[in-house]
Amino acid sequence: MYFIKCPQPFQNGVEIAKIFKKFHLYSSIFISYYFMKIISKDTFSVFLIVSIAYIASYTLTNGFIVPLQSMLLPSYTGIISLLFLPHGIRVLAAYYYGWKAFFFLVPSTYLMWFVIVHGSGLPLHPLQPIFSVLSCIIGVKVMSKNKTGRIEKEWKLLLLGGFIGSILNGISSSFLYNNGVLTSSIFGYIFGDMSGQIILMVMLIYIFKFLRMFKY
């Protein structure tokens, strides 16, 4: 009968334990790396979608609605849009992503701020993008404690959250533009934000209906 003698390092099991410990460590690092990579990809995708949606809605507002507003209401200030579609994007982003929406929205918000300030010459306050985004998130957070995630059944929640956000946005914007003095321009911001949100929601409803019809 022959006995196979194990090498000395493996006889007491110490080396085997070390090998498994190293394997567990390296495998954990490997799994964590790819898990974070997947999360990063998903986060970047969301950031890209939110940014494109915000830029598109802002471009439509500034390129079509604001000039039309200037034609119909030439005496009304150009700083306030009476149909501000990006407010709807901010509310939807806040509804789906909570406080993360701040990081998704701020870059595109500042990009459009830069374009408007240096392209159109409007004196927009540099802090307005931050206050506008925070106002929407706070408004939605106040109303979405019991949200179900089914947006088609929670349009009232979105409208109420958007309304609170528009009030906060109107107060902060009026405060910033008038050197700490609140004026009647608050009502212009509220009207513009809410009309923009309602129109955007109606547009999205019909777009989704069309896509479902096309799918089937």
| Proportion of the chain above pLDDT 70, given as a percent | 73
Residue 27 located in a structural domain: no
Residue 37 forms part of a structural domain: no
Report pLDDT for 88. 94
Within a domain: residue 127? yes
Q: Is residue 94's pLDDT more than 60?
A: yes
Q: What is the pLDDT of residue 180?
A: 63
Q: Residue 189: inside a domain, yes or no?
A: yes
pLDDT digits (tens, 9 = 90+) for 157-215: 899 999 999 999 999 988 888 766 677 788 989 999 999 999 998 888 888 778 777 76
**Is there a domain that residue 110 lies in?**
yes
Residue 57 clears pLDDT 90, i.e. is over it: yes
Question: What are the tens digits of pLDDT across the range 79-89?
Answer: 788 899 999 99
Quick count: other Cβ atoms within 10 Å of Cβ 133? 24
Model confidence at 153: pLDDT above 60: yes
Q: Do the domain assignments include residue 38?
A: no
| Predicted local distance difference test score (pLDDT) of residue 216 | 59
For range 12-38, the mean pLDDT: 49
Could you say which DSSP state residue 12 is in? S
**DSSP conformational letter for 142:** H
Q: How many domains does the chain have?
A: 1
- Give a yes or no: residue 72 inside a domain: yes
110-136: pLDDT as tens digits: 999 888 877 777 777 889 899 999 999
CATH number of the domain residue 145 falls in: 1.10.1760
Residues 105-114: contacts with CB under 8 Å, at least 24 apart: 105/50, 105/54, 105/133, 106/130, 106/133, 107/47, 107/51, 108/50, 108/51, 108/54, 108/55, 108/58, 109/54, 109/133, 111/55, 112/54, 112/55, 112/58, 112/62, 112/86
Range of the domain at 116: 43-215
Residue whose pair of structure tokens reads 């159109």 in the numeric block? 120
Q: What is the dihedral of CA 67, 63, 95, 35, to 10 degrees?
A: -170
Question: Is residue 26 a part of any domain in this protein?
Answer: no
- Residues ≥6 apart with Cβ < 8 Å to 151: 92, 95, 158
* pTM confidence score: 0.76
Q: Any residues with CB less than 8 A from the CB of 115 and at least 6 apart, and which?
A: none
The C-alpha atoms of residue 161 and residue 147 are separated, in whole angstroms, by: 12
Cα(161)–Cα(92) distance, integer angstroms: 10
**Hunting for tokens 């595109």 — which residue is that?**
108
pLDDT at 160: 92
Band (147; pLDDT cuts 50, 70, 90)? low
